[in-house]
Each structure stands twice: as structure tokens, then as C-alpha cells.
Chain A
Amino acid sequence: MLQEAMTDSAGRARVDARARFGRPYARGRRAWHHLAPRPVLLVASVLAVGVSAVPLVYLAVRTAEAGGSRIAAVLRTPGLAELTLRSLALMAVVTAGCLVIGVGTALLVVRTDLPARRFFAVVAALPLAIPTYVAGYAWVSLVDDFHGFAAAAVVLVLCCSPYVYLPTAAALAGADPATEEASRALGRGPWATFVGVTLRQIRPAITAGALLVALYVLSDFGAVAILRVNTFTLAIFTSFNLGFDRTGALVLSTMLVLLTMAVLVGELLARRTTTRYARVGSGARRPPERIALGPWRPVALAGLAAVALAALGIPAGAMARWFSVGVSRPGSLAEIAAAMGNTLTFSAAGAALTMLLALPIGLLGARAPGPVAAVLDRVTYVSHALPGVVVGLSLVFFGINVAYPLYQTPWLLALAYAALFLPLGVGAVAGAAAQAPPGLEEAARSLGRGPLSVFRTVTVPLTLPGIGAGAALVFLTCMKELPATLLLRPTGADTLATELWTHTSVAAYAAAAPYAALLVLLAAIPTWLLAVRSGATGPAVIGGGS
């Protein structure tokens, strides 16, 4: 108990108070500190979450404008219940599939003696670089009659499994084998140790990855549109197209927000308290013992190779085929270079702003865990589940009414990316901060440094690798983003994703192929960095925190 309390300076005060007075609450200034620990971080976090909440404010405003009768009319759209159930079913199936593939791959790569481990460690993460609309087009053009629920599930599982694979692999690589050895020494068999100790240790990482997958599936439009699965997001887009009246679409988006909140609440309730593992004494950090696969080796290799072929080979093959069959060609080299430059700049700005906003929220979650930090963290997930077009329109609204000088500049687009991808950044920061011992910060404070100095010289350097990994993840996700970019980019500035969309909308697939290939190649670089980092012994990359 003392160890748990020692991870939190306010908690220590709590323990001391209880020991001294036998009461759970301290008094006066300390009471305030107990109720709102880390006030500076709290204020910064609330401001950062405010940015993420701009789409929610917009939806509330427009839905209120719509009026009760219009809302009732939208809710009476035939088949809405069926759509909702189908979206939830797709979410469940894809999450389950990603868990199987992601956790399985992570175990095989980190904890067994699989040959060519390093190769598979990188290849398993690479599907993250492929946008779902590219993957959808690729599968449709190569496989006959490929559409429907099962097809969409396959494509989404292949594209999203890295969200589970990366944090799980990092957690497995970083987990201390001493606890497992202790469990074996106390008489538990290998399977019981695996379930009781190893899985429990990596569960936060798995859960964080699974939540990201679930909410991404709710928001995805590219794959479900191409593969013709009627989900909630498709209903929102149909509403925009039918009658050119955005009110219906926005009322549906509000419903999606409520659905997301239900999923988040469900996740919170289903989750039991995370057991923290701490060592007394430093001991020696050892690499984990690898399980010998023996006769299962070819099976494991075949499985991983099949998944890699499906996830990477099919899009590559399709792009090659488009380019060879079609007549259209992309624009000049200058156009392609300009698009590439814009993609890199906008994504870099988006990643920088996102990590800046994620920093206080993640630190709050790691240093002062509690209901406030948990709520702030969860609110960022709600905007993540909204379709990009809704977030884009909300920022048009914000830009026009509040920040007109910023309208149609890269800064507002960076804000949109931050609103969309904040959970990715928060997870990375929280994971990195949870791994960095707070004792070092407290030691620095006790030696006389001010809080800002401690932040600059102790906290930031310790968490920087994790923050860098989070930035890489947000960077590559920004590169793939399309609908918000279309709405908010400076007029005349094109990115690789928007050029790709321009050409595919007139069926000029051959012209689109080089843009798709370039997009995937560029996104593969941060993905490779992420894979290399998580495979090694390092802090958790995504989630892995509280």
C-alpha cells in the first residue's frame, strides 16, 4: 500500500495525514491540493481538452438550432436502428480480429524464437501506413465481387491491427521477467503464469489499443463506402448528399457522439483496477526468456506471412495494376513535389500541436490519476470517433465565428488534426510518463529546483522518447486524413491525400496510383520508426498508462 501511495506526492500527503490524524482528509491549503492535485497541469489540461471539444460544442449548437421536430424526424429515418446495430457489430468484430492478430503477432515476435523476428516486427506495423480508402479500393480492384460486412471487416482488421500490435509488443518487451520467474518459482505452470501474470501486466496496453480500434471503426468512412456496408457514418454522409442540408447529418453525428460515450462508459465499467507492479530493490533488468516454438515454427511463419501478404501485398499489387492498365498520368513533378511538401508540413504542424496539447493531459493522468484525469482523458476520445467531415465543419464554424484570421491557414488545419487525434498523443505521453519514475522529479524538487525547471530538465528528457513516438504516430495519421483536410486546407494547397481523391473521383486510377504509393511510402517511415522502437526495450508507445 505504501508503494502505491508513494507514486503520487499528493497521495503521500494523504498517507501522512491519515497516519497522523486518523482522518482521510487534510485541512486548509492541503485540502485544496487533495481535491485538485497539480493545479497548473489541471488548468492546462482543461484548456487542451477544450480544443478537442470544439466539434462537440458545434454539434450542440447546430442540433439545438434544428429543433425538436426535426430531430424527431431524423430519428424516425427508416432503418436507423439497423444501422446502429450494424456499426456496433462491425466495431465488435473488427476489435476482436485486431486483438487476435495484434496480440498474437506481438507474442510471436517478442516472446518466441521465431526466425526473422526483426523483419516481422516491422512488417506487422506497416499496415498502419495504408489509408483504409486505399486498401478498400485495392481489394475491390483485385478481388471479384468483394463487398459487404465480411469484406469490410477483413480490410479494417488488416489496417487496424497495428494499433493493438504496437503497444502490446512494447509492453511485452518492457515487462519485467522477474515477476514471471517469481510466479513460476512459486509453483504456477507456464500457462497459468501467462494468463495470471503476463497478460495482466500487458492488459492496459491491449485495452488502450482495442479502444482506439473500436472508436476508429465507428468513425471510418473510406472502407465502408467503397465496400458498401451501411453503417452509421455512411448514413451521416448520405444525409449530406441528400438534399444538401447538413442539419440531418449533424443530428446523426450527435447520436454518434452519444454512442461513443456509451462505448467509453462501458469500457470504464468493464475495466477492473489495474494492478501495479513494482519491485523492491533494483535487481538486474534482463531480456525475457523466449519460448521455443519447435514444430509450430512453420505454422507461425506461414500465419504471419499470410497476414503480411494480405495487408501489404494486395494494396501494392493493386497500385501496380492501376498504373499499368490506365492511361491517365499524374501531374508534373512540380505538382507532386508541392503536394508532398504540403502533406509533410501540415502533418508536422498537426503532430506538433497535438503533442503540445497532449502533454498536460497525459502528465496529469500519469502523475495525478483520479476521476478528473480519467474524465479529461476520455473526453478526447469522443471527437476521435466523429467523422472527419463533421470535425472539419466544426472548425469552419470556429474559424469563421471566433478565429477569422486563422481561417483557411495551416494553423486551423493543425487544430483540426489535434481535435481528431488527441487520444493518440495522450496515450503516448501517459505511457511514457508512467514509465518515468516520479521519484526523480521529487528528488529534483527537494534539491531546490522550481517546478518549471524540474519540468524542463527532468520530466521532458525522460519522457521525450515516448513523446517522439507519439508524435510519429500522430504524424502518419495526419498524412492519411482526407475529409477535414479538404475542408480546411488553404485554397489552392493540395496534399497527397487530396490529389489521390481528386483523381479517383473521376476514375483516373492510373493517375492516382503514384500519389497513393508516395503516401504509403512516406507514412511507412514513421511507422518503421515506431516498430523498431517498440520492438526494443523501451517505454510503451501507445496507451500502456492508466
Chain B
Amino acid sequence: MRTFRTAAVVTVAALLATGLAACGGGSNGGGSPAALTVYSGRSEALVGPLIQQFTQETGITVDVRYGNTAQMAAQLMEEGDRSPAHVFLAQDAGALGAVAKAGLFAPLPEEILDRVPAQYRATNGQWVGVTGRARVLAYDSQTLDPADLPASVFDLTAPEWRGRVGVAPTNASFQAFVTAMRVQHGDDRARQWLADLAANDPQIRENNVQIVADIDEGRLAVGLVNHYYVFERAKELGVGIDDLRVRLHFFPDGDTGALVNVSGVGLLSSAADNANARRFIEYLLSPTGQRYFAEQTFEYPLIAGVALDPALPPLDELEAPDIDLNDLDTLAATVEMIQQSGLTT
């Protein structure tokens, strides 16, 4: 009995040691270290296949660390210049701006920056947008006609929309949207709109996925989300986008509600000379990479000449408001405005 127990203890210890040694190497299985380390705030389900495609085409092995964009940005800022990361792929510009402000990014080569229109990259060249994400109004097509929908996002504070509007105020794209409103219409108008919305019984959800799900199941009438969530839902349920109960409505005439956000990428300064990292960023902005985003994640490609999903209006038709996605000091003030309005409590 005693020898059995000793043997059991020794076996367990041996298994533990080998297990830890083996998985310490991560996806490479303890072999040679990967040529490139990417921190991705974008989900593995969305960008994983593209990164695998990159490895297949170029032979550069990539170690990807997936997480939530906000927490990944916090981790990068905590790691500072000792971070093992070479590239940061973020879900939105605010996170990239925060990391850039902490002085962690290296300026990107002009050649890469010029592929993308000026409003979708950092003015100091420290990050570049990869895909466009349009703000839309998702609506319940069974109870609402397109004619019933508001012409402007400002109409959502009217009494007829009381208790019927879904928003996710902690979402980064909502923050960018409020920043756009402040730039286009001034602080006072934005503050008023937030207060009116908070007083109109808004249906607060934690994220856009929940808003779209609730509209599709008839629990919400409308919601302010990004356009591709509806496509994601269609894909999950295995149906075409026109078979869904939830539909998309783009606000017309350059209304703030038609803002285009970007997901983007930045190069860490510790990897400024890393050729693999630059190749990766180039790949994301190449026709192959951008076509992947258009076809698989249903987002807007930012380089010219890539075909779009037929259900989406082209980027230049959107008349999106012209705001500087870089302006972080504005973002801090936006955040305080959202908090003061009471939407997040």
C-alpha cells in the first residue's frame, strides 16, 4: 500500500513536470520559438484562419495571444518595453491610441500607411486601420417598416422610442460614436442627447452581440450596433442575411449615426526592425488579406479595389462624419460624459 502510494505520487509528479514543460512552449509544442508574436484583441474565430493563411503563404510562424482588446491594451501598457509582443491587432482605434500615447508604438513605413485613406490611420503614423466597421441601426423587421425608422440618430430620444432602443454604452464603438457626435455637433448637443437617451428608458446590454440577438428574438425594437454583427448571427444560425428577423438600416445624409470605426494594427517599438512584423502588417493590408475580411468577417476593406458583400452599401456612399479617430484627449472627455449621463450605472 505504501509503495503504491509512493509510486502514485512519483507518477503524478512526473506527469506534471512533463506536462508543464510541454505546454510551456505553447502552440509550437516546445520547439523553436515562433518568428512573430501577435497580441490580438480580435477573436480567434475571426482572425485565426487569416493568420494561418499568412503562415502558409510566407512560412513565418506566428504565436498569437488572444484576449479582450481593453484588457490586452492594459496588459501591453503594464508590460511596457519588455513586452514579448511584436504587433498589436486591436478591435478599435481607441485602444491603439491609448497604447500609442504610452509611447509603445513605432511609426509605420509610409508605403504601408499610404494604402489606407488618411482618416483611417494615425496622424503620427503609429497605427493603421485594417477594416472598417459602420455604425448602423439594427431593427426588428417583423414589427417595423423601413419607413418607420428614424432619419437621424437624434430622433431616438423621442417618446415613441421609449424603452425600445438597445445600446451598449461600455462598448468602444459607442464611445467613438459619441466622440463623433461631439466633434460634429458640439459638446452641449452631445451631452443633451446622452441625457435624453438615459431618460428615455434605454435598454442597456453588455455588448452588441446581445443587442442583435434580442432584436432577432423580438425582445427589442431597435439597437445601435456595428454592421457585421448581423452577418455573424446569420452565419451562426446557418441562414442568409435576408432570412433573419433583424435587419440593417444605415442612417442617411452624413448623420453621426453613420460613423465608420476601424479595427487596426500597430507595431511595437521593440520590434521596429522586425521584418516579419512588417510583412504581417503588409499582408493584412494586401488584397488577399482584405478580401478575407470582406468575405469572412463581413467588414469593410480599407484599400481600394476589393469587392464587398452585395448587401452592404459601398464605403464612399456612407457619407460618414469626418472625425479624427486619433484624438484621445477627446476620448477621455467622452468617457466622462457617458459616465455623467448615467447610462453606465
Contact present for B175 and A490 (CB under 8 Å): no
| CB of A507 closer than 8 Å to a CB of B | yes
Contact present for A328 and B79 (CB under 8 Å): no
- Checking B71, B97, B175 against A240 with a beta-carbon cut-off of 8 angstroms, the contacting residue is B71
Contact present for A345 and B19 (CB under 8 Å): yes
Q: How far is the CA of A259 from the CA of B235 in the complex (A)?
A: 45
Residues from chain A with Cβ under 8 Å of B63 in the complex: 491-492
- Checking A341, A506, A510 against B232 with a beta-carbon cut-off of 8 angstroms, the contacting residue is A506
Chain A proximity of B38: nearest CB distance (Å): 9
Contact present for B236 and A328 (CB under 8 Å): yes
Chain A proximity of B74: nearest CB distance (Å): 4
Query: Given A327-B236, A345-B23, is A242 in contact with B205 using a C-beta cutoff of 8 Å?
Result: no
Q: Is the contact region of chain B dominated by helix, strand, or loop, or is it mixed?
A: helix
Q: How far is the CA of A348 from the CA of B97 in the complex (A)?
A: 39
| CB of B180 closer than 8 Å to a CB of A | no
Q: How far is the CA of A508 from the CA of B43 in the complex (A)?
A: 11
Contact present for A240 and B70 (CB under 8 Å): yes
| CB of B338 closer than 8 Å to a CB of A | yes
Contact present for B342 and A79 (CB under 8 Å): yes
Contact present for A240 and B171 (CB under 8 Å): no
Contact present for A393 and B70 (CB under 8 Å): no
| CB of A225 closer than 8 Å to a CB of B | yes
Query: Given A241-B70, A349-B16, is A493 in contact with B98 using a C-beta cutoff of 8 Å?
Result: no
Contact present for A228 and B206 (CB under 8 Å): yes
Of the four ranges (under 10, 10 to 19, 20 to 34, 35 or more), the interface on chain A belongs to: 35 or more
Residue of B with least CB distance to A145: B219
Residues from chain A with Cβ under 8 Å of B344 in the complex: 238, 242
Q: Which A residues from 468 to 502 make CB contacts under 8 A with B?
A: 483, 486-487, 490-493, 498, 502
Contact present for A410 and B44 (CB under 8 Å): no
| CB of B191 closer than 8 Å to a CB of A | no
- Checking A246, A404, A506 against B45 with a beta-carbon cut-off of 8 angstroms, the contacting residue is A506
| CB of A7 closer than 8 Å to a CB of B | no
Contact present for B235 and A342 (CB under 8 Å): no
Contact present for A246 and B77 (CB under 8 Å): yes
Q: How far is the CA of A490 from the CA of B34 in the complex (A)?
A: 13
Q: How far is the CA of A345 from the CA of B94 in the complex (A)?
A: 36
| CB of A26 closer than 8 Å to a CB of B | no
Contact present for B26 and A493 (CB under 8 Å): yes
Query: Given A228-B205, A410-B23, A507-B209, is A397 in contact with B236 using a C-beta cutoff of 8 Å?
Result: no
Q: A244-B70, A245-B98, A493-B23 are in contact. List 10 more A-B contacts (CB 8 A).
A: A242-B344, A243-B175, A243-B335, A244-B99, A345-B16, A345-B19, A491-B26, A498-B66, A506-B232, A507-B229
Give chain A's interface residues, CB within 8 Å of chain B: 77-79, 82-83, 145, 225-226, 228, 230, 235, 237-238, 240-246, 249, 325-328, 341-342, 344-346, 348-349, 352, 389, 393, 396-397, 400, 404, 407-411, 483, 486-487, 490-493, 498, 502-503, 505-511
7 nearest A-B residue pairs (beta carbon): A492-B26, A492-B27, A79-B345, A327-B238, A345-B19, A244-B98, A243-B335
Give chain B's interface residues, CB within 8 Å of chain A: 12, 16, 19-20, 23-28, 34, 37, 43-46, 63-68, 70-71, 73-75, 77-80, 82, 84, 94-95, 97-99, 170-172, 175, 204-206, 209, 212-213, 219, 229, 232-233, 235-238, 331-332, 334-335, 338-340, 342, 344-345
The 17 sampled A-B contact pairs (Cβ below 8 Å) are A79-B342, A228-B205, A228-B206, A238-B344, A240-B71, A241-B170, A246-B78, A327-B238, A345-B20, A346-B23, A396-B75, A400-B79, A410-B24, A411-B20, A487-B75, A506-B236, A507-B229
